[in-house]
Structure 1
Amino acid sequence: MIAKLTGSVDSSGADWVVLDVNGVGYLLTCSGRTLARLERGGRAALVVETFVRDDRIVLYGFADAGERDWFRMLTAIQGVGARSALAILSVLDADQLSHAIAAQDKTALSRADGVGPKLAARIINELKDKVGTIAAGAAAPAGAAAKGAPPAAAAGGGAMADAVSALVNLGYGRSEAYGAAVAALRTAGDDAAVGDLIRIALKELSQ
C-alpha cells in the first residue's frame, strides 16, 4: 500500500493532481484545500490513502496526516463516500470541522457539494462523541485529563451554552460562535459569567 509520495507536480485539475515521482506519474484525487497548496513544477509531499476497488486502485492525496485522518473518519460513515468527504474537507479545515461537529452546525457541513441536511446530521451524530470535546479540551486546565476531570467547556455548563446562543442571535455562525466561546472560556476560567464570556468572545471574533 502506498502511504506517502514525494515528487514534483506535473499537472492538476479540479479534483486531481499528477505527482511525478522519479519519472513515474501518480494520479491522486485531492481536496480543494490540498490542491490550493500545490504549484505546477513545484515539489510536494502528500500523505496517501489507497483504496483498492474491484477493477482499479485509487489514490487520495492529502497535505497532512490530519486531513487524511478526517477523510478516514468521514468515509467510515454510512452514506459518506470519498467524493463527499473530499467536498467537506475542501470547505472546512480541521479546526473548522471540529467546531462544526461540536457545535452541531449542520449549515456549515451542508456547504459542501453533495452534503444535505440529513447527511450533515448523520455525520454530526456519528462523530460528536469522537470529536465533540476536541475544541473544548484546549480549555481544560493542565493535568485535568490525567485526573479524569471533564473538559472546561463542559464545566462551564449553562454559561457556555448561553454565550453561544447569544452570539448566534447576533448573527454569527454556530460553529464560529462555539469556537469563540471556547476561547473565551479558556481566558476567563470555568466560573466566568455569561456576560464575560460574550464580551471576550466578541473581542475574539473581531480580531
Structure 2
Amino acid sequence: MISSLTGTVSHVGLHSAVLDVSGFGMLVQATPQTLANLRVGNQARVFTALIVREDSMTLFGFSEPEEREVFETLLGVSGVGPRLALAVLAVHTPEAIRVAASSGDDKAFSKVPGIGPKGARRIVLELADKLVPLESGPAATTSNPWQGQVLAAMMGLGWSEKDAGAAIDAAVQDSPEVAAGGNVGSILKLTLRRLGQDGARASVRS
C-alpha cells in the first residue's frame, strides 16, 4: 500500500500531477485544491490512495490525511467511484462534507457535477453514521450542537472554513450569552457582525 509520496514536482496538469520519486515519475490524480499547492521544481508530499482495478492501478493524491480519509469513506457509498469521490472533494472541504452528511444536507451533494437528487440522498443516508464533524475548538464541542450549522452557513456565503471557524470562536467569546441560547440565526448574525467589524478595522489600518 502506497500511503504517501515525497518527491520533486515535474508536472502539474488540470486533473493530475507527476512527482519524481527516486527516479520514478509517479502520476497522481488530485483535486484542484491539492494541485494548486504544487509547484514544478519544488519538493512536495502528497498522501495517497491506490485504487486497483482489473485493467489499471491509479494513485489519487491529497494534501492532507483528512482529505484521503473522507475520499476513502465516500468510496464505500454505493454508486460512488473514485472520480465522483474526487469531484465531491473538489467542491467541498472535508469538514463541509462531514457537516452535510451528519446534518442530512443532501442539497450540498447535489451541487457536485454528476450527482442528482436521488444520488445525493443516498450519499447522505449511507454516510450519516460514518462521517461526523471534527472537534476543532471550543465552538465545536458537543455542548454546542449549532456549530456545524453555523459553519456550513458561513461557508455557503463564501467564507473559508478557517476564517469562518475563527470568526465563530471570536464571536462566541465576545457574547457567550448568545451562544448559550443556541439560536442558529442569532449566532450567525453575531458572527457576520464580527467579520464586518474585523474588516472595518483592517481597512482603517491600511
TM-score range normalised by the length of the shorter chain: 0.7 to 0.9
Cα distance in structure 1, aligned partners of 2:104 and 2:133: 12
Contact 1:138 1:186 in 2 (8 A): no
How big is the shift at 1:18? 1.2
**Which TM-score applies when normalising by structure 1?**
0.72
- Cα distance in 1 for residues equivalent to 2:57 and 2:97: 28
8 A contact 1:108–1:175 mirrored in 2? no
Match of 1:146 in 2: none
SS in 1 for 2:104: coil
What is the CA–CA distance in structure 1 between the aligned matches of 2:107 and 2:100, rounded to whole Å? 9
Q: 1:81 to 1:138 in 2, by over 3 A?
A: farther
1:196 Cα deviation after fit: 4.5
Q: Secondary structure at the match of 2:112?
A: coil
Distance in 1 of aligned mates of 2:54 and 2:20: 26
How many residue pairs match? The answer is: 186
> Could you list the runs of 5+ residues in structure 2 that have no partner in the other structure?
199-206
The match for 1:153 is 144
RMSD: 3.5
The residue aligned with 2:192 is 202
The residue that corresponds to 2:113 in the other structure is 113
1:109-159 Cα deviation digits (max 9, x unpaired): 222221222222222222222334536985366xxxxxxxxx2234x7xxx
Unaligned runs of at least 5 residues, structure 1: 142-150
Q: What percent identity do the matched residue pairs reach? A: 34
Q: CA deviation at 1:60?
A: 1.1
What's the counterpart of residue 91 of structure 1? 91
> Is the 1:91–1:112 contact (alpha carbons within 8 Å) kept by the matching residues of 2?
yes
Asked if the contact 1:137/1:152 (under 8 Å) is kept, the reply is: no
Task: Tell which deviates more after alignment, 39-48 or 112-121.
Answer: 112-121
Higher RCO (CA 8 Å, separation ≥ 6 residues): 1
Tell me the SS of whatever aligns to 1:130.
coil
Paired amino acid for 1:39: R
